[in-house]
Amino acid sequence: MDENRFDMGPIDIAWCPGCGNFPILSTLKKTLEGMDILPNGVVLVSGIGQAAKIPHYLKCHFFNGLHGRALPAATAIKAANPDLTVIAESGDGDMYGEGGNHFLHCIRRNPNITNIVHNNMVYGLTKGQASPTSRIGFVTPVQTHGVFEEPFNPLAVAIALNAGFVARAFAGDTETTFAILRSALEHRGYALVDILQPCVSFNRLNTHQWFQENTYDIDESHDPEDRQEAFRLATEPDRLPLGILYVNRERTPFEENLPAFAADRSPLYAREPDLARLEAAVEAKA
């Protein structure tokens, strides 16, 4: 297989120089290239925001839908054709703010998709307002006295909902990010990868250096199947742990529970209605 098969070649990328999105893009590309997958088998689903532009910079099928709505679309795409590898990728505002309700219910549903969230704790595309994950005290043109709402904790929420795979990475550490993304893509069921990243234009608080100082790698002795311990890690008040916090392999993916696939494994586009059976169903109404 071509090593650069997910590469778009020379293209104009709309991100700011030094943006944390760049290493995430290259790491995702490298992860996919290292797997037995072709661009033709991958659908990248995103919403709106700087992170949500990523499908335009990676060679595969894509559905760049509405703000906050990547997860419902991704769930449906996977359910319509379970043979596809489906990745839902957007920023913290998109996934945790506008799409917050879908985030909760997608975890409950557990489709076999990978959910990558670029978490820079700020709104980039709309130029610097607070996001659901902004830290208390963060001053913006809207939050002029500083954020006073409790930051959203995606990992704790995902673990509380018994998500199958919950991890956090830091965009600056491409090696660990690569390993985590690979595990997430290989997980059978919903996998959340929250990737911390600096925003060089609008977040002067959570800088590259801030992330270096306020994160640490989870100790290798951590058992990801220990939900209590995973929850403790996710709710640590001081520094943010990086790595795979929680894994639960017991849950059946959404599309495997669907009766529509019980007798017929073919994707929905290849199906025709059973008119003889419909005739019988109508006749039964006599």
Partner 1 sequence: MGEAAPALSGGVSVVLGGEAGQGIQTIEFILAKVLKRSGYHVFSTKEYMSRVRGGSNSILIRVSSRRVRAVVDHIDILMPLDSKALERLSGRIGPRTLVVGDRANLPDSPGLLEAPTSTIAEEVGGRIHENAAAVGVLSGILNAEEEVLMTSVREFFADKDEAVIERNLEAVRRGYEVGNDLCRRKLVCVDIEKNIAVRNEPLINGAEAVAFGAIAGGCNFVSSYPMSPSTAVLTNLASRDEDFGIVVEQAEDEIAAVNMAVGAWYAGARALVTTSGGGFALMGEGVSLAGMIETPLVIHLAQRPGPATGLPTRTEQGDLELALYSGHGEFPRIIYAPGTIEEAFALVRRAFNEADRCQVPVFILTDQYFMDTYYNTAGLDIRGEEVRKYLVRTDADYLRYRFTGDGISPRGVPGFGDGLVTADSDEHDEAGHITEDMGVRTAMVDKRLRKMDAVLAGSLPPGFTGGKNYRNLIVTWGSTYPIVKEAFERKAPPSSAHLHLSQVYPLPPSALQYLKKADRVIVVENNATCQLGRLIKLHAGVTIDGSLLKYSGLPFSVEEVEETIQRAERK
User: Where along the sequence are the contacts to partner 1 (CB under 8 A)?
Assistant: 14, 39-41, 43, 45, 48, 53, 55-56, 59-66, 69, 72-77, 79-81, 83-84, 101-102, 104-105, 109, 258-264, 267-275, 277-279, 281-286
Q: Strand 240-247 vs strand 165-170: parallel, antiparallel, or unpaired?
A: antiparallel
Residue closer to partner 1 by CB (options 50, 176) is: 50
Residue type, 212: Q
Minimum CB distance to partner 1, residue 125 (Å): 11
Tokens of 89: 């990728």
Q: Between residues 68 and 164, which has the closer beta carbon with respect to partner 1?
A: 68
How many C-beta neighbours within 10 Å does residue 74 have? 28
Q: Calculate the alpha carbon distances from 205 to 55, 99, 132, 202, 215 in Å.
A: 28, 25, 15, 9, 14
Structure tokens at 141: 């043109």
Q: State the minimum distance, in angstroms, from the CB of residue 284 to partner 1.
A: 8
Identity (one letter) of the amino acid at 77? I
Positive or negative: CA dihedral 186, 190, 191, 197: positive
Residue pair 238/230 in contact (Cβ under 8 Å)? The answer is no
**CB-nearer residue toward partner 1: 217 or 264:** 264
Nearer to partner 1, 44 or 242 (CB): 44
| Residue number, 43 or 147, with CB nearest to partner 1 | 43
The CB-of-276 to partner 1 minimum distance in angstroms stands at 9
